[in-house]
A and B are shown apart, each in its own frame.
Chain A
Amino acid sequence: MPPTPTREPVSSPLESFPDQVLSDRAADGDMRAFEVLVRRYGPLMRVYASRVLGSNDEMDDVVQESFITAWQQLPTLENGAAVKSWLMRIVSRKSVDRVRARRQHVNIDLTDAPAPAQQSPHRLAEAGSQTEALTRVLAELPEDQRRCWMLRELAECSYGEIAAELEIPVSTVRGLLARARKTLLQEMEEWR
């Protein structure tokens, strides 16, 4: 049943609702609220997936699967205000699963993963800039360090959440993050 058209409260369009309200409403079946969450966090989730997958062509699938899972599991999310890092953890998991599945096929399909699909003229013109260099260095980090770094800096997870997600002790998270930062910093010093 479409919502009865009512006086739209001008001061607070749905797009401006806090995460807590949007995820509560989506948990109750409000598709419009869910759509706002998709638009709010979808782009960041796509960035996340493309960094893990190293390519754009599987990104749409992974992000779509993540949102379908999120829709199904939203009623179990206790703290709707934490929906952002919750979504990021879902896309992190799905992306890593995809990479693992890809590895299992490596014997059959020897073609390399396509080059990062960010080779538009615009991106190439930027090459050499700090952000471009950071993208490159990030891609070269050891996988455990990169996952820790991304859960921390993209997903904004706490150390405890990262530890639970990766099934490692908090002390290991602390160590991996420090090592990732140190490597990235050393590389950054070289660009200056």
Chain B
Amino acid sequence: MTSSDALAGHTFEELSDYLDRDRTPADPSIEGSPECQTALNGMQRLRSVHRDLLLKDAQRESEREDSWVSSILQHISLEARAGRDIPISHSSPTARLSVTEGAVRGILRAAGDSVPNIIVGRCHLDGDVTEPGAPITVRVDATVLEGEIIASLADQLREALYAALRQHTELAVEAIDITIRDLYQPFVPPAKASSDE
């Protein structure tokens, strides 16, 4: 590697590492050395040329026809996510009806999506869902739009989830616990659109 004399006693490796630490904490012996600055600017330029290249390449890839996306989706299966079978009663004693746990999670997400400004993430059904009448606790993770009143959105969500579960299942839901995991920013159109000149 370059003799470290030319880089104010630093090695190129130290500078590369310093750049990857976002130049924090600031090191005066690096920031004050013109040679180090030249090397850092070079690496920064390299990074920005590379970003341009990536952007161009990724843009070209996303403009290709969509067949590869559908081919991927055809190869994945929902079976792996089905989970337990949840029985549903029927007037005929010989009929056996059930709905999968995965489908119930889908119902919870869809119900959650009817409440604006809150997004349902993972859903868990705690308790023996295979046993009719067994007490069940539903645990749901959610993300809330920044600036919203969390408690009131959580209440609306809980109502919507109860209603959907009553309508589609016979689960004896004891509680719906909602954990707000994060806040999200209002929707901003993707960066792609802003690079139109």
Q: Which of B47, B58, B71 contacts A44 (CB 8 A)?
A: B58
- The reply to whether A11 and B184 form a contact with Cβ atoms under 8 Å apart is no
Instruction: Given A18-B143, A44-B58, check contact A64 B68 (CB 8 Å).
Output: yes
Q: Say which one of A98-106, A107-115, A139-147, A175-183 lies at the interface with B.
A: A175-183
Closest A residue to B187 using CB positions: A16
Give, as a whole number of angstroms, the nearest-CB distance from A125 to chain B.
Answer: 13
Contacts of B16 in A (CB 8 A): 174, 177-178, 181-182
Q: Which of B15, B49, B105 contacts A134 (CB 8 A)?
A: B49
Is B9 among interface residues, defined by CB-CB distance under 8 A?
no
Q: Mask for A149-192, Cβ within 8 A of B = 1, else 0? A: 00011100001000000000000001101110110110011000
Q: Which of A9, A159, A182 contacts B12 (CB 8 A)?
A: A182
Contacts of B111 in A (CB 8 A): 4, 6
Instruction: Given A25-B121, A134-B49, A134-B53, check contact A11 B12 (CB 8 Å).
Output: no
Q: Which of B61, B109, B114 contacts A7 (CB 8 A)?
A: B114
Contacts of A30 in B (CB 8 A): 106, 109
Query: Other than the known A3-B106, A6-B111, A174-B16, what 18 A-B pairs have Cβ atoms closer than 8 Å?
Result: A1-B106, A7-B116, A9-B117, A13-B187, A24-B122, A28-B102, A29-B82, A31-B76, A34-B76, A38-B69, A43-B59, A44-B58, A44-B61, A68-B75, A71-B80, A131-B53, A178-B11, A185-B39
Is B123 among interface residues, defined by CB-CB distance under 8 A?
yes
3 shortest interchain CB distances as A-B pairs: A29-B81, A43-B61, A24-B121
Q: Which of A20, A50, A134 contacts B121 (CB 8 A)?
A: A20
- The reply to whether B13 and A178 form a contact with Cβ atoms under 8 Å apart is yes
Give, as a whole number of angstroms, the nearest-CB distance from B110 to chain A.
Answer: 4
Is B78 among interface residues, defined by CB-CB distance under 8 A?
yes
The size bracket of the interface on B is 35 or more
Would you list which residues of chain B between 133 and 153 have a CB under 8 Å from chain A?
141, 143, 145
Contacts of B182 in A (CB 8 A): 18, 20
- The reply to whether A131 and B56 form a contact with Cβ atoms under 8 Å apart is yes
- The reply to whether B20 and A152 form a contact with Cβ atoms under 8 Å apart is yes
Give, as a whole number of angstroms, the nearest-CB distance from A32 to chain B.
Answer: 9
Would you list which residues of chain B between 95 and 119 have a CB under 8 Å from chain A?
102-103, 105-107, 109-111, 113-117, 119
Would you list which residues of chain B between 157 and 174 have a CB under 8 Å from chain A?
none
Taking Cβ atoms with an 8 Å cutoff, the residues of A that contact B are 1, 3-4, 6-7, 9, 11-13, 16-18, 20-21, 24-25, 27-31, 34-35, 38-39, 42-44, 46-47, 50, 60, 63-64, 67-68, 71-72, 75, 80, 130-131, 134-135, 152-154, 159, 174-175, 177-179, 181-182, 184-185, 188-189
Is B43 among interface residues, defined by CB-CB distance under 8 A?
yes
Q: Which of A3, A35, A154 contacts B109 (CB 8 A)?
A: A3
Q: Mask for B40-68, Cβ within 8 A of A = 1, else 0? A: 00110111011011101111011000001
Sample (7) of A-B pairs whose CB atoms are under 8 Å apart: A4-B111, A9-B116, A29-B78, A178-B16, A181-B46, A185-B39, A188-B46
Closest A residue to B160 using CB positions: A6
Interchain CA distance A43-B66 in the complex, whole Å: 11
- The reply to whether B53 and A135 form a contact with Cβ atoms under 8 Å apart is yes
